[in-house]
């Protein structure tokens, strides 16, 4: 079972061997958490950015995986953890050994000498660390050597192994100008290489040609969608994640209001004359997710309500922007300790139960596959605009009515349309979602 220090096994060749399963979900891009040499099980404590961890199979296994993905028409994005290193990184071990005389002294941010990295309490470390954790010394991005090294790393994996992009971990403390150069160096090796920033909240200034990332992890979609699909259950998030990932129950008007604000922020930053995929900020360029290795699993937050999870997957497929599914969601994984236990790391990071198919939720698995096929078959769901629709019950109340007399069932009914201005681009799609566990809508008319 997962613990803070345990290794659960698994390898890159294991992923390659199971690409049939992955592709059956409609997945056309893999995002891998870190694969580089590390002393930590999750590998967010990198020891060498230029070496694939031998425990995962090393560079040969990684090349096999990239090539297998490309042979299937799939793409692969790596996780770049460049804000800090682990204590085992060769530059930091030089600092520990040589102290002030180390040629890498200025790659880090020492406060005094001698540097002490082991046997020291958090908040008492004499060098800058990520979240004051001694095992995560921060890199000094004012140092030209650090900048050049990370730029070389970014270009190396694109050029030598053909990766299709980078998901950039916690990039907010690194200067935006650096990320623009990083993107440029990677694009010089492959013009279609993408960069995705892990930034919570709504950040239109950080995406597009005027910003410094091609896309962002759109947790803002997740907070809205979880709030709507879980509106009839007691959403559990007491130890899910902190910061800006706060989920609150929403009815249909509440979702519409919250998500409109998200879309409007990015739409307003979209540069006229630049089409989607051309690098401009736009809701359709954001990577939509509702859980990940950094949050409790959605099914845990939904108190085990698999029907709500399936509705969530459908909403994700019908929203503007590519959907991101955390491994195990498709078979109903809830976390190592179950509904009653903690949803926090490391319990949300249990390995995929390849050898226990009897534990899978096959209903959710088939639903995930059907939803993936639905999105793949609909140009409108992938590239169309979004237009809200009003649902009105036979009694004359509608989902936008905030008065006390509004129909509860209709307030649980969310409707939008994915459309093209030019019908020659393809048929539109009407998307209808009902989150109530009890109330039926009865006869409803939708104004499109």
**Residues classed as catalytic:** 169, 198
Q: Which residues are paired to 110 by β-bridges?
A: 127
Give the β-pairing of 46-52 and 36-38.
Answer: antiparallel
Q: What percent of the chain has pLDDT over 90?
A: 72
What are the structure tokens assigned to 127, written together? 């060098």
- Spatial contact of 381 and 317, defined as CB atoms under 8 Å apart: yes
Across-strand partners of 196? 167, 215
Q: Is the dihedral of CA 436, 382, 372, 296 positive or negative?
A: negative
Q: Is the pLDDT of residue 276 over 50?
A: no
CA distances from 55 to 1, 9, 21, 392 (A): 18, 8, 23, 58
Q: Say if residue 163's pLDDT is above 60.
A: yes
Q: What is the pLDDT of residue 344?
A: 84
Task: Cite the DSSP H helix spans in 274-422.
Answer: 298-301, 306-318, 362-377, 379-383, 408-411
CB-based contact 94:115 (threshold 8 Å): no
Length, in residues, of the chain: 448
CA distances from 305 to 221, 299, 312, 332 (A): 19, 7, 11, 10
Q: Which residue has the higher pLDDT, 281 or 365?
A: 365
Look at residue 247 in the predicted model and tell me its pLDDT. 84
Contact of 99 with 114, CB cutoff 8 Å:
yes
Q: Cβ(155)–Cβ(189) under 8 Å? A: yes
Average pLDDT over residues 320-338: 96
> Mean per-residue pLDDT for 126-145?
96
Tell me the pLDDT tens digit for each residue of 12-34.
Answer: 999 999 999 999 999 999 999 99
Q: Starting at the earlier edge strand, list the strands of the sheet with 413-419.
A: 385-388, 413-419, 429-434
Cα separation, 28 vs 69, in Å, equals: 9
**pLDDT per residue as tens digits for the range 418-444:** 999 888 888 999 999 999 887 677 778
Q: Rg of the Cα trace of the chain?
A: 23
């Amino acid at each position: 079972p997962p613990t803070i220090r345990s290794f659960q096994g698994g390898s890159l060749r294991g992923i390659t061997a199971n690409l049939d399963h992955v592709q059956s979900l409609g997945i056309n891009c893999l995002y891998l958490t870190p694969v580089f040499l590390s002393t930590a099980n999750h590998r967010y404590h990198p020891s060498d950015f230029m070496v694939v961890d031998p425990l995962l199979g090393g560079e040969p296994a990684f090349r096999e995986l990239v090539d297998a993905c490309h042979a299937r028409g799939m793409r692969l994005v790596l996780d770049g953890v460049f804000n800090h290193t682990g204590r085992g990184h060769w530059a930091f071990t030089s600092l520990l050994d040589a102290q002030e005389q180390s040629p890498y002294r200025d790659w880090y941010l020492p406060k005094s000498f001698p540097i002490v990295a082991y046997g020291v309490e958090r908040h008492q470390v004499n060098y800058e660390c990520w979240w004051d954790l001694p095992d995560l010394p921060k890199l000094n991005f004012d140092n030209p050597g650090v900048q050049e090294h990370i730029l070389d790393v970014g270009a190396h994996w694109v050029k030598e192994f053909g990766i299709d992009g980078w998901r950039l971990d916690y990039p907010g403390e690194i200067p935006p100008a650096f990320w623009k150069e990083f993107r440029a160096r990677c694009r010089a090796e492959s013009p279609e290489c993408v960069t995705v920033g892990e930034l919570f909240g709504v950040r239109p200034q950080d995406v597009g040609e005027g910003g410094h990332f091609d896309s962002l992890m759109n947790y803002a979609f997740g907070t809205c969608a979880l709030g709507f699909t879980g509106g009839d259950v007691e959403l559990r998030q007491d130890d899910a994640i902190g910061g800006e990932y706060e989920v609150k129950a929403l009815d249909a008007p509440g979702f519409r209001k919250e998500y409109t604000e998200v879309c409007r922020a990015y739409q307003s930053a979209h540069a006229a004359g630049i089409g989607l995929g051309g690098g401009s900020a736009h809701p359709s360029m954001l990577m939509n997710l509702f859980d990940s290795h950094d949050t409790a699993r959605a099914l845990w937050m939904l108190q085990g309500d698999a029907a709500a999870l399936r509705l969530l997957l459908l909403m994700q497929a019908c929203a503007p922007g590519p959907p991101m599914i955390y491994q195990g969601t498709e078979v109903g994984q809830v976390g190592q300790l179950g509904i009653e236990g903690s949803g926090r790391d490391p319990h949300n990071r249990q390995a995929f139960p390849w050898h226990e198919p009897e534990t899978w939720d096959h209903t959710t698995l088939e639903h995930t596959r059907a939803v993936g096929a639905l999105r793949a078959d609909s140009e409108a769901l992938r590239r169309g605009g979004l237009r809200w629709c009003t649902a009105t019950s036979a009694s004359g109340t509608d989902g936008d009515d905030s008065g006390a007399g509004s129909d509860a069932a209709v307030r649980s009914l969310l409707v939008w349309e994915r459309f093209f201005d030019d019908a020659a681009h393809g048929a539109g799609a009407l998307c209808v979602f009902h989150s109530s566990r009890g109330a039926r809508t009865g006869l409803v008319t939708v104004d499109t």
